[in-house]
Amino acid sequence: MNAQHLADTLRGRLIVSCQAPPGDPMRDTATLVRFARAAAAGGGSAIRANEPEVVAAIVAAVDLPVIGLWKDGDTGVYITPTVRHSLAVAEAGAAVVAADATGRPRPDGSTFAELVNAVHAAGALVMADVATLAEGVTAAAQGADFVSTTLSGYVPGTSKQTGPDLALVTSLAAAISVPVVAEGRISSPEEAAEALARGAHSVVVGTAITAPTALTSRFVGALEKGPGPGHPVTG
């Protein structure tokens, strides 16, 4: 699928990230395929998924484009860190390969521009996962087909807000002509709609849809804290 065709397919729509962290009971290929099938049944426009094996299984089972990545570790550049990782994700059938585009040194010494060229030569598109406006501008100039706010708040030196970085969505949308994807800590349908209103082309939601362990912890934490001052217990 070419970049314009895919952009048309994703415009104004939801992308569901179907991932589970290491050690999580949901980290199982068949389970993640079920999440992806549920996302398709609910009207999602695309799936974001981690690791070649999971990408291939979702591509085979679900009739939606897959944005694939391959996480390796959890520090430094860990989202599709090398050209080798990116080509394995493309080979697994991802329409788009998502990769870190923060400009930090990559473990194989490659540049983001080299990764873009390799993925394009393999017939897939590239989503640049960035943390700042400057990184998004550079990634677009280097040929990224989509720029996503994925890494805002997750790079040392940037502060993590509790909610999504809608200010970054707004500034990227004003600065670049490639589609901007709002991603990271979007926890309600209202926030997703607000991201579109701020100029996002599409919205990725993961945890709020496909992470029962994290969602359970959130409820448990709230119960342990007890009712806030705005919610008096009556009766």
Ligand X SMILES: CC(=O)N[C@H](C=O)[C@@H](O)[C@H](O)[C@H](O)COP(=O)(O)O
Question: Using CB under 6 A as the criterion, which residues of the chain lie in contact with ligand X when the complex forms?
Answer: 17, 19, 69, 79, 150-151, 154, 183-186, 204-208
Q: What is the smallest separation between the CB atom of 94 and ligand X, expressed in angstroms?
A: 13
Q: What is the smallest separation between the CB atom of 129 and ligand X, expressed in angstroms?
A: 7
**Of residues 121 and 222, the one with the C-beta less far from ligand X:** 222
Q: What is the smallest separation between the CB atom of 1 and ligand X, expressed in angstroms?
A: 21
**Of residues 22 and 231, the one with the C-beta less far from ligand X:** 22
**Of residues 196 and 227, the one with the C-beta less far from ligand X:** 196
**Of residues 132 and 150, the one with the C-beta less far from ligand X:** 150
**Of residues 157 and 235, the one with the C-beta less far from ligand X:** 157
Q: What is the smallest separation between the CB atom of 209 and ligand X, expressed in angstroms?
A: 8
Q: Which amino acid is at 133?
A: L
**Of residues 170 and 210, the one with the C-beta less far from ligand X:** 210
What is the rounded (10 degree) CA torsion for 65, 66, 67, 71?
180
Q: What is the smallest separation between the CB atom of 233 and ligand X, expressed in angstroms?
A: 31
Q: What is the smallest separation between the CB atom of 67 and ligand X, expressed in angstroms?
A: 9
* C-beta separation of 33 from 62 below 8 A: yes
Distance CA 62, CA 56 (A): 10
- Closest residue to ligand X, based on beta-carbon distance: 206
